[in-house]
Amino acid sequence: METMFSLMDEKSKEKLTALKNPKVEKTVAEFAEICKPDKITVLNDSQEDIDYVRGLAIKNGEEQKLGTEGHTVHFDGYNDQARDKAHTVTLLSPGMKITKALNSMDRDQGLKEIFEIFVGCMKGKEMLVMFYCLGPTNSEFSIPALQITDSGYVGHSENILYRQGYKEFEKLQDKSDFFYFVHSAGELENYVSKNVDKRRIYIDLDENRVFTVNNQYAGNSVGLKKLALRLAIKKASEEDWLTEHMFVMGLHPKGKDRVTYITGAFPSACGKTSTAMLSGQTIIGDDIAYVRISSEGEARAVNIEQGIFGIIRDVDSKGDPHIFESITTPREAIFSNVLIKDTKPYWLGMGQELPKEGVNHSGEWKEEAKDKNGNEITASHKNARYTIRLSELENMDEKADAPDGVPVSAFVYGGRDSDTTVPVAESLSWPHGVFMGAAVESETTAATLGAEGQRVHNPMANLDFLVIPFGKYIEKHMDFGEQIKKPIKIFSTNYFLKEDGKYLNGMLDKKVWVLWAEGRIHNDFEAIETPIGFIPKYEDLKQLFKQYLNQEYPLANYTNQFSIRIDKYLDKLTRVEPVFRDEGDVPQIFWDQFEQQKQSLLDAKEKFGKSVIEPNEFLEK
């Protein structure tokens, strides 16, 4: 304790001791001793402290001011551009089980290793002690979170992305029910983490804490984002609610006096944020939701965040007007790993020609630049990001901060699938919908380290974060459907069907798919029953395309997009079955759905005598 307080000024001491929380003090003291910072600053919810952190990020060179007021840019190191799955490890005590898809190791061994790496990692730097609230303040949904970091950029990002929580910690008094995260960028070289070979992201489920070191990319360093998601999944499974990798949005159909709230889970770079930001609709959150059942038996959801850490690639004025407006006008925003030329940010797919030279994540950059391995260095990284507050958006939903959340009418599951899944389908039942979500596949993108274009099974878009056994996770979803009194519909979407290398969907078509789903929730549309779910009728989509996009929708497009590719679906089942089998504890109700799906596909193939069945043929059966 003496070491800790000797590194603080009087204001910081007062802020820490005023909480009267022994666990908070012990945690700060422990890591002050291990990490050996030159200074410790404790921050509360005041605007003065929020401004201090942003100023520190700029002072330390982690961010640079851009030409537009409020805009800054941050660069991660060349090898620190995405979530690092290989070095993200869950620490397990004896007898503890998680999904086999995740890396794990013995808890004692992992703690020994990470603590050794942490020794002296903050020498010459300032330790920031920050307090947040995962979810709306004054809400039963929410979880207090403590962040310790030596990065002004991480602190600045969290001040944009999360609600301030010092007052929530004041309410805790001596209670210890909170998450905490310890991060260090480690030794810096040219303002970026140097020792990426010692990059580690270790999740300690026993103590509801995460340690992360030698990184800056927000997906690895911002503890309250995907790292807190893992801790919350475990907590939710123990308390019978759901923590999901989901957006929350309000749908506002034209000519209808109603708002319909839905949630949606899409793997990274599969259109989740662009769906949540559809024009004419309202957004509550684009990434992570807590979903609980109210005392009246209604499913309700909150966004745990107050901001967006979004992929900036292909954000333009036509496809994403709300986002484009918010990141091209004066307001607080962080750009990361874009191209900078004359204090202006540029990114891939922004709708204008990019400069031939500038500064990006690789340093001084010129067109056709290559790295040491001969790989092209694009002007802006494919996983470049923007960070803004939701309150900066004109389409933020009025209930975004409601302590009791919003009622949920549908779960939507989407992936990146070039040859199989139709653009939108409704499940045949709740168990079938859980199966649909569990069978999500996504072709890999630049959002995670590794090769692009590989087809990866990603159930509920949550596989990377399932720190509980997969079977238990599926069982919790099945149980959730039985407990709610107001039914929820489940839909699948896919915006990435291709033919001869060209997309069959336009970028804005997703609005039609989602608003068809909204109409189904309210029984506005009939549907065609197929082996893979209920699909739209042509006449309804034709009307919706005209109503929302002012476009004609040719029958040939509909037939091509919504034909059921039997063999492709069977191939998908063949791919995902070994994953389910390997987990070993998947509930029987799930296998019943699997077998029913497989048999209904085979029956359809035999009945129609072909492997690709047009949608209207199911009407004639």
385 annotated among ligand-binding-site residues? yes
268 carries a ligand binding annotation: yes
Annotated ligand binding at 83? The verdict is yes
The response to whether 226 counts as a known ligand-binding position is yes
Q: What is the model's pLDDT at position 523?
A: 97
pLDDT of 342 reads 98
Cα within 13 Å of Cα(106), Cβ side: 5
In which element (H, E) is residue 131 found? strand 126-134
Does residue 270 carry a catalytic annotation?
Answer: yes
User: What token pair was written down for 516?
Assistant: 């068809």
Q: Give the N- to C-terminal CA distance of the chain in Å, as an integer.
A: 76
What structural domains does the chain harbor? 2-62+83-239 (3.40.449.10), 243-305+400-619 (3.90.228.20), 310-392 (2.170.8.10)
The residues, ordered by sequence, that sit 6+ positions from 120 with a Cβ below 8 Å of its Cβ are 35, 36
- pLDDT mean by block of 10 residues, the chain; 621 residues: 91 97 97 97 98 98 98 96 94 92 95 98 98 97 98 98 98 94 96 95 98 97 96 96 97 97 91 90 96 96 96 90 93 98 98 96 95 94 96 95 98 93 97 95 61 76 92 95 94 94 92 98 98 98 98 97 97 91 88 96 96 93 57
Report the DSSP beta bridge partners of residue 565.
Answer: 612
133 marked ligand binding residue: no
Calpha distance 327→386 (Å, rounded) = 8
Helix (H, G, I), strand (E, B) or coil at 15: helix
Catalytic residue (one of 35, 121, 133, 270): 270
Residue 319 contacts residue 152 (beta carbons within 8 Å): no
pLDDT given at position 42: 98
Are the beta carbons of 338 and 347 closer than 8 angstroms? yes
The answer to whether 520 is a known ligand-binding residue is no
Kindly give the pairing relationship between strand 104-106 and strand 88-92. Answer: parallel
How far does CA 302 lie from the centroid of its chain? 14
Q: In the numeric block, which tokens belong to residue 454?
A: 């590989």
- The tens digit of pLDDT for each residue in 194-220 reads 999 999 999 999 999 999 999 999 999
Q: Is 557 part of any known ligand binding site?
A: no
Contact 322, 395 (CB under 8 A): yes
Please report, for the chain, how many H helices and E strands are present, in that order: 18, 38
Strand 424-426 relative to strand 489-494, pairing: antiparallel
CA nearest 461: which of 615, 274, 269, 613? Answer: 269
